[in-house]
């Protein structure tokens, strides 16, 4: 695909700031900054970071070139509270919707990240969120779901997101965490440049992130799959 010069890509990252993220705080800070570093290599990207917990949903920065984004740090990432994933996701999509209405020919990428299950939303439902994502996907919006040490596929299914747009990463490993975020930054940059048509995850990307829940990886490494992976072509010769 030819590069789409001049087409703005609106990228929004929704980051879980609930209390349980404290145990992976340093790795998350390092990884998110690696994500932004990858975006800085691209053009025509407007980046927003939204953090959420039960204390509030905070816009850390909005619609700025990645090169101008302040780094995530111990000062601006302070885990606390519960996980109102549904409410935060709906509000994020609505905020992006308002921004897109001001922009001509914008492409949209939204990445949801969490280390836990929805447990605190009061305003919206899974059905509302799923309908909203379905409607925006039909318009060409791209959604990703990153799960930190959880079965992201189970949680993302409630949103209506399939395995191709979902990845779990090993949050106990700084290397795997960084790989997960950096690879998404690289993929987003490629999508913004028109070098790729979508934001699907590849098997190699999931393996590098230590994904233990990916259905396709489970199939590839199961005993049954191993036995049938390389079937014999001919019988052994008798000499």
> How do residues 187-230 score in pLDDT, each as one tens digit?
999 999 999 999 999 999 999 999 999 988 876 554 554 444 45
Q: Whole-angstrom distance between the N-terminal and C-terminal Cα of the chain?
A: 55
Phi-psi region of 132 (alpha: psi -120 to 50; beta: other; left: phi over 0): alpha
What is the reported pLDDT for 238? 55
Residue 205 in tokens: 């990307």
> How do residues 121-174 score in pLDDT, each as one tens digit?
999 999 999 999 999 999 999 999 999 999 999 999 999 999 999 999 999 999
Are 121 and 141 contacting, i.e. CB atoms less than 8 angstroms apart? no
What's the CA gap between 198 and 194, in Å, rounded? 9
What's the CA gap between 97 and 49, in Å, rounded? 15
Is pLDDT of 3 > 80?
no
CA distances from 49 to 24, 86, 235 (A): 18, 17, 59
Which alpha helices (H) appear in the chain, and where do they start and end?
A: 25-39, 85-100, 126-138, 152-159, 174-192, 203-208, 215-221, 223-229
Is pLDDT of 114 > 80?
yes
Task: Say what the pTM is.
Answer: 0.89
């Amino acid at each position: 695909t030819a590069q789409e010069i001049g087409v703005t890509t609106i990228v929004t990252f929704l980051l879980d700031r609930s209390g349980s993220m404290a145990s992976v705080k340093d790795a998350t800070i390092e990884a998110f900054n690696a994500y932004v570093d990858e975006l800085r290599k691209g053009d025509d990207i407007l980046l927003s970071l939204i953090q959420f917990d039960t204390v509030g949903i905070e816009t850390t920065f909005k619609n700025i070139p990645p090169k101008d984004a302040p780094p995530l740090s111990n000062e601006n990432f302070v885990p606390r509270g519960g996980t109102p994933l549904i409410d935060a996701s709906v509000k994020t999509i609505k905020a992006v919707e308002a921004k897109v209405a001001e922009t001509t020919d914008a492409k949209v990428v939204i990445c949801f990240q969490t280390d836990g299950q929805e447990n605190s939303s009061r305003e919206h439902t899974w059905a509302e969120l799923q309908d909203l994502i379905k409607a925006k996907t039909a318009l060409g919006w791209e959604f990703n779901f990153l799960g930190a040490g959880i079965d992201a596929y189970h949680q993302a299914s409630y949103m209506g997101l399939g395995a191709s747009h979902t990845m779990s990463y090993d949050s106990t490993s700084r290397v795997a965490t960084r790989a997960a975020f950096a690879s998404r930054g690289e993929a987003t940059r490629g999508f913004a440049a028109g070098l790729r048509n979508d934001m699907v995850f590849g098997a190699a990307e999931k393996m590098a992130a230590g994904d233990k829940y990916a259905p396709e990886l489970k199939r590839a490494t199961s005993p049954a799959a191993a036995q049938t992976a390389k079937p014999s072509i001919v019988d052994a010769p008798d000499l």
